[in-house]
Amino acid sequence: MMSLDGVDGKEIPPYREVHVGISMLDYVQVCEVFGGGHPNLEAWKDLGNLLAHRVGWHFELVNWGEPLWSLGSFGESMLNIQITDKGFGCFDYREDESSVFDTIALVSNWVDAREMDARQLSELSSEWLSANNWELLRRHIFVAQISTIGQQFLTEVDGVLGPGQMSENFVEAVRCSGTLIVDFLNAPQELAPSIRVDLRCDPSAAELLLAKSGDG
């Protein structure tokens, strides 16, 4: 899926919307500097287009500057993909299995076959978060992202590898973040209101909030 550039209406490829966590550098620049230079750039773009909008996937630099796409919650990487000299290097942590593919279509098939299972919370993370009456869950600060789809707010929580929650109004969008978290973790529902959340709003959410406030 591509979004539209607000300036001239042109379609924006998904790779251009990847968050890289480095100020002054975008996804292409990071991949060119750390990911093997110009010869690998088109492969990184293909990978960004495939994974940028898929729930739970994130791009990061590991091992002091190694670009990696990962699927996992709470610091885990259950599936990961990077560009190597031999092609698209894919690793399934649960199966301890590595594969290398030479086309993005084969990578897509590999992801489709494993993604659903890999989104489940691992036993280790579940034990870690639920220990001592969910002490770490109570202390952890989650990041909730609020964006929009049409005239509704969409709430997604980093680390919660499932679909977000659609809401008609902004208050509901904020409140549902705790519910999303406890549902994903199978934690007691009474913990939801006390979950600590760092709330981040997409510009589209701010615009929709102002528009709805004006209508009221």
Residues 128 and 203 in one domain: yes
Go through 119-157 and write b for each residue having 16 or more CB atoms within 10 A of its CB, e for each that does not: bebbeebeeebbeeebeebeeeebebbbbbeeeebbbbb
Residues 71 and 173 in one domain: no
Return the closest-CA partner of residue 146 out of 162, 179, 170.
170
CA separation for the pair 201, 199 (Å, rounded): 7
What are 58-87's pLDDT values in tens digits? 898 988 889 999 988 777 788 999 999 999
Residue ending a domain, among 118, 138, 160, is 118
What are 132-176's pLDDT values in tens digits? 889 888 888 888 888 888 899 999 888 787 778 999 989 999 989
Mean pLDDT of the chain: 86
Enumerate helices (H) and strands (E) in the chain, giving the number of each: 6, 11
Domain count, the chain: 2
Residue ending a domain, among 96, 118, 140, is 118
Residues 96 and 19 in one domain: yes
Q: What is the mean pLDDT of residues 42-62?
A: 90
Residues 45 and 66 in one domain: yes
3-class DSSP state of 120: coil
Q: In what order do the strands lie in the sheet with 87-92?
A: 57-62, 66-71, 79-84, 87-92, 97-101
What are 123-133's pLDDT values in tens digits? 877 888 888 88
Residues 22 and 42 in one domain: yes
Residues 155 and 80 in one domain: no
What are 83-115's pLDDT values in tens digits? 999 999 999 998 999 999 999 999 999 999 998
Domain containing residue 88: 3-118
Residues 113 and 152 in one domain: no
Residues 94 and 178 in one domain: no
